[in-house]
Amino acid sequence: MKNLYKKLKQKGLSKEQEETILKELAMPETHPQVVAAETQSKSFLSLYDFNDLDIFQSLKTPDKTLITSLQTLDDLLERDKKREEDGFPRRIRLGKYIKPGKDTKEKVVVVPSTTEPKFYHDDSVTEEQETTGGTGEGEEGEVIAEEQADPQEGEGEGQGAGKGSGGEHEMGTDVFDLGKILTEKFQLPNLKVKGRKVSKTKYQYELTDRNRGFGQVLEKKETMKKVVETNIQLGRIKPGEPVNPDELVISPRDLVYRILSKEKDFEAQCVVFFIRDYSGSMQGKPTETVVTQHLLIYSWLMYQYQNNVMARFILHDTDAKEVPDFYSYYKSQVAGGTNISPSYTLVNKIVTDEQLAKDNNIYIFHGTDGDDWEEDGQKAIEELKQMIGYASRVGITIAKNSWTSADSETVVEKYLNKSNLLKEKPTFIRMDTIVSEQVDEARIIEGIKKLISE
Amino acid sequence: MELISQHTKKIMEECKIRASAAGLVFADETLEYIVTNRDMLELSPKVMIPTLYDYWVHDVEVLREIGKYKLYPHNPYETVINSRPAISFYNDNNPDWLNIMIFYHVLGHIDFFQNNLLFQRTWNDDFVGQALADKRLIESLRSQHGRWVDYAIEFSRSIDNLVGYFETLPKKGFPEDMEPSEKVSFYFYIFLQEIKKVSELELFNEIDKYNKLVTQNPSQADEAFFAEVRIKYPEFIPVFEKNREKPKQECVDIMEYIRDNSPFLRKEENVWMRSVMNIVRNTALYFGPQMRTKIINEGWASFWHDELFRSDDRIKGNEVAYARLNAGVTSLSRIGLNPYAIGLRLIQHVEEQANKGKICTNFQLLKGIEERENFDQKTGKGREAIFNLRSDFSDFTLVNTFVTQDFTDEHDLFVVGQRINQQRGTKEYYIKSRKAEDYKEMLINTMIHPVKISVDERKTNDKNLYLVHEFENRQIYKPYIPDTLIGIEYLWGAPVQLETIEIVRTQTKPGEKAVFELRKILYTSKDGKVLKVNI
């Protein structure tokens, strides 16, 4: 990184540019992966988070799931739409919740959530860090515990599902649901699938379906359940009394088998590249904005392509690397300097090497705070031009961080505007600039519309 | 929900006899229910009040946004609710010894609810019954007005944390004669300061003059003083009389003010909304004392479950299981605050101090550590002292009075701070301070303290409601201001303005000491759009 800095310095740098670079150089160079987000800060519970029911009798206030809620998600969204007609701001938000845990890959839970706005005191401006109580040995100033710092600390949780929720949902269905909601309720556009890129479907035979009465392999557990069910109905099993297996009646319909069946085999129709700037200057809000937006875009594409989406995740600081899953993409902590072009080069290299352009719709989304050590962006623009050649859409999100003023153009904006790409090829490349301090769910969705609309 | 078994009820009744013998005072009737996880699902959003009105927000996950601002005051859940008779909830598979422990804890709470002065307003009614009536009323309104009932609930709830809880407490023992007469107050507070806008020096001189007269001759001071005023300000009496004619506003909080004065709610077709506002306001008032006594109430209940349980012969053989659970509940943790632990320690501390006669001025004047430690007048007034705590103290007064250096040293208490270690990429927790003052401040800062907002009646009329935020060095959480104002605008039926102060962090580079600036802001909500200007 230092070498790059020297090289750039020889070429000449503006004063501001140099300041930013030095600030990032002073930050740690490695990107630790964050673990154990769930164990985080139990110690900072407030006085009012304790209650008798939980402490004495383990009667927890149960987590809400869609199934147990009295109203369904559709009802709630319907009600929310009515609010707009009645002249009041919408209240339902979609909480996302990404389950930590690398082995299970990414898991996303959609929880409808809301807030009840009231006038509350806010200490966040004047207070540096929250304090709490403690007891035991030790001198003032002594460190008594430490944990991995979370890049989205505090803010990340706000968008999340709130305290302690987390039903057991699988990624696929929920991301799909989220995509559906985004499309229908927030009026995100439907995609026009390009004619020449039809899905290549073929059939395979697999032992996946269940059948009652006959089939290839007996499913013992399912069969047993059916047998018990039948016998309860016949009154042969009575609650509280011991069961005599000899007396149970087995109906032919109780036997459950696996049977060979025709399965569609899909191949990915859509490849989406998510590129995230994880340099030091992305600390906090900009990162949260980018990650949330990318999650929503991912969900939307999943719905649009009926789950046939292959996602590739790329992180960059001054170098670029590909990470295997959304979890690593989401959880890697910010550090280091910023250079954008290597990440674009990497995308182009993957597309060429794997010949992805031939059969796929390719989408590329990049989130950054708009800072680039390479001020003229020559290399980046060249790579972008190449991308536009094959991609259905390149969407660049500029989430400005707190120390960039809202009106001034960032480095990336400057060179993009100068290149005229945005004006010449609006079908292929879009840019959205967000001041991340002011971001909320509505603004993020607004941004997505801008990036993906026709 | 079903009642506990006769066997368990018998255990409870025996606990009551022992608790009464120890000095606790509570109504004899109580109801105990078994709750399942399914019941909890319905009860928890209604803060364990089974009859509370239905509202759609109860079906949705409410984001508490922890970390953004820590004082999101939500109503505390209790095993026992403050109703007549008191209702408490149990898991159906608790062993008997555990039930005994919980019963004692519950009786501690019931005693507290029924004797602590902050709960006075709840003593004469049964809230559960009242809530049921309210719920039925809301149901019937819903059948007539549909979703507009929910808007009325929503917008009422958006200001239900501003209810004047303390103002509604009966002013028992309030020194009425300490208040100056209407004429005197008007002269000093309004006439001189707001109408004449005299300098501070002049104001102090006037007050001084008045005070001297009162000391010399209390009965004729007013007459003598105003004789002089009449010469200096001939217009005073007419101005005073004129202002006096205005009907005096009896409203204690902005909820009541809006309910009674809103031109929108005055319309015949909207009168029903007043009942909704009342229901929401009364519910908020009901929870007022509970939110202000979390530490002392849990401390009191923990003190008694421990005291009574250990002397109960029915628990033989379960001492170890009890000790383990009790330690989990009441031990002070290395990092973190636990209201049970702090409350219990404070009550024990007060009892011990009072037993040695340390709660007196003579002791407070002692400086030497050894002297203080050995001080013992053997007064044995400990029990009496803690019973006084239970009837007269709240969280704030308990902490503010008894968190002393003696107390924090005795339990090795300290304030924990956190900081980011950039080199290691970790968050560190460190001992920030061992000073009692800092510890006390930290505790007080974690307590609920609602924003204070009042109506400026001179700038308010049917076309405009003017609210003023009384700034206490903390700003209002900004993102919520517009939505809250839009709700108030709906209830008022005309534009609403809010005058507040915002703290702005002036640009500093990371690592430098922050500089703050105060800005006076006026928000205006008109036709559902909120504008913000500096004033």
Domains in chain B, number? 4
Interface list for A 425-454 with B (CB within 8 A)? 440
Q: What tokens appear for B286 in the block?
A: 């009901």
pLDDT reported for residue A400: 81
Q: What tokens appear for A152 in the block?
A: 């989205």
**DSSP code per residue over B57-76:** GGGSEEP--TTT-S----PP
Distance (Å, whole) CA B271 – CA A72: 32
In DSSP terms, which residues pair with B417 in a beta bridge?
Answer: B430
pLDDT reported for residue A104: 45
| Nearest CB to A121 within list B411, B414, B451 | B451
Q: What tokens appear for A340 in the block?
A: 């954008």
| A39 at B interface, C-beta within 8 A | no
* Mean of per-residue pLDDT scores for chain B: 87
Ranking A16-30, A31-45, A133-147, B107-121 by mean pLDDT, the lowest is: A31-45
Residues 6+ apart with CB under 8 A from A398: A368, A369, A370, A410, A412, A413, A431, A432, A433, A434
Question: Which three-class secondary structure state does DSSP give residue B462?
Answer: coil
**Comparing A191 with B134, which gets the higher pLDDT?**
B134
Q: Are A291 and A276 in contact (CB under 8 A)?
A: yes
Q: Return the percentage of chain A with pLDDT > 70, whole number.
A: 68
Q: Are A107 and A171 in contact (CB under 8 A)?
A: yes
Question: Which amino acid, residue B153?
Answer: I
- Indicate the residue among B446, B468, B488 that finishes a domain: B446
Highest mean pLDDT out of A202-216, A406-420, B266-280: B266-280
pLDDT reported for residue B483: 92
Give pLDDT tens digits for B309-368.
988 888 888 888 899 889 888 888 888 888 999 999 999 999 999 999 988 888 888 888
Q: For A219, left (φ over 0), alpha (ψ -120 to 50), or beta?
A: beta
Does residue B384 share a domain with residue B351? yes
| A333 at B interface, C-beta within 8 A | yes
Q: What are phi and psi of B60, to 5 degrees?
A: -115, 150
**Comparing A239 with A66, which gets the higher pLDDT?**
A239
Please report whether residue B217 resides in a domain.
Answer: yes
Give pLDDT tens digits for B132-152.
999 999 999 999 998 999 999
SS3 of B252-301: CCHHHHHHHHCHHHHCHHHCHHHHHHHHHHHHHHHHHHHHCCHHHHHHHH
Q: What tokens appear for B232 in the block?
A: 């200096």
**DSSP code per residue over A262-296:** EEEE----EEEEEEEE-SGGGTTHHHHHHHHHHHH
C-beta atoms of B430 and A95 within 8 A: no
Does residue B441 share a domain with residue B335? yes
**Which residues of chain A have a CB within 8 Å of the CB of B420?**
149
Residue labelled with tokens 């506990």? B4
Give pLDDT tens digits for A63-116.
544 344 445 666 777 777 788 888 888 887 765 554 444 444 445 555 667 778
In DSSP terms, which residues pair with B530 in a beta bridge?
Answer: B525
Q: Are A16 and B416 in contact (CB under 8 A)?
A: no
Q: Are A138 and A74 in contact (CB under 8 A)?
A: no
Does residue B469 share a domain with residue B518? yes
Residue A362 above 90 pLDDT? Answer: no
Cα–Cα separations (whole angstroms), residue B494 to B254, B256, B487, B488, B528? 15, 17, 11, 9, 10
Q: Identify which of B120, B145, B107 has the alpha carbon closest to the alpha carbon of residue B25.
A: B107
Question: Which three-class secondary structure state does DSSP give residue B33?
Answer: strand
| B146 at A interface, C-beta within 8 A | no
Residue labelled with tokens 């640009």? B507
Q: Identify which of B500, B499, B491, B502 has the alpha carbon closest to the alpha carbon of residue B459.
A: B499
| A16 at B interface, C-beta within 8 A | no
C-beta atoms of A122 and B162 within 8 A: no
In DSSP terms, which residues pair with A400 in a beta bridge?
Answer: A435
**Chains A, B: CB contacts under 8 A, how many?**
324
Distance (Å, whole) CA B274 – CA B278: 6
Q: Are A89 and A159 in contact (CB under 8 A)?
A: no
C-beta atoms of A112 and B338 within 8 A: no
pLDDT reported for residue A267: 53
Distance (Å, whole) CA A71 – CA A48: 28
Please report whether residue B322 resides in a domain.
Answer: no
Does residue B343 share a domain with residue B310? no
DSSP H helices, B393-511, are 395-402, 405-410, 436-446, 481-492
Angle CA(B41)–CA(B43)–CA(B46) in degrees, nearest 5? 120
| B78 at A interface, C-beta within 8 A | yes
Q: Are B360 and B416 in contact (CB under 8 A)?
A: no
Query: Of all residues in chain B, what percent are helix, strand and coil, respectively (each to 5)?
Result: 55, 15, 30
| A87 at B interface, C-beta within 8 A | yes
Cis peptide leading into residue B85 (ω within 30°):
yes
Q: Determine the distance in angstroms separating the CA of B372 from the nearest CA of chain A, rounded to an integer.
A: 23
- Domain residue limits at B229: 176-245
- Indicate the residue among B214, B245, B276 that finishes a domain: B245
Q: Which CATH class is domain A267-452?
A: alpha beta
Q: Identify which of A328, A296, A94 has the alpha carbon closest to the alpha carbon of residue A175.
A: A296
Q: Return the percentage of chain B with pLDDT > 90, whole number.
A: 49
pLDDT reported for residue A197: 45
Please report whether residue B479 resides in a domain.
Answer: yes
Residues of chain A within CATH 3.40.50.410 domain(s) are 267-452
Does residue B76 share a domain with residue B10? yes
Q: What tokens appear for B66 in the block?
A: 């922890």
Does residue B89 share a domain with residue B38? yes
pLDDT reported for residue B272: 95
Give pLDDT tens digits for B73-97.
566 667 899 999 999 999 888 888 9
pLDDT reported for residue B408: 94
pLDDT reported for residue A109: 53
- DSSP letter (8 states) at residue B169: S
Q: What are phi and psi of A396, to 5 degrees?
A: -110, 125
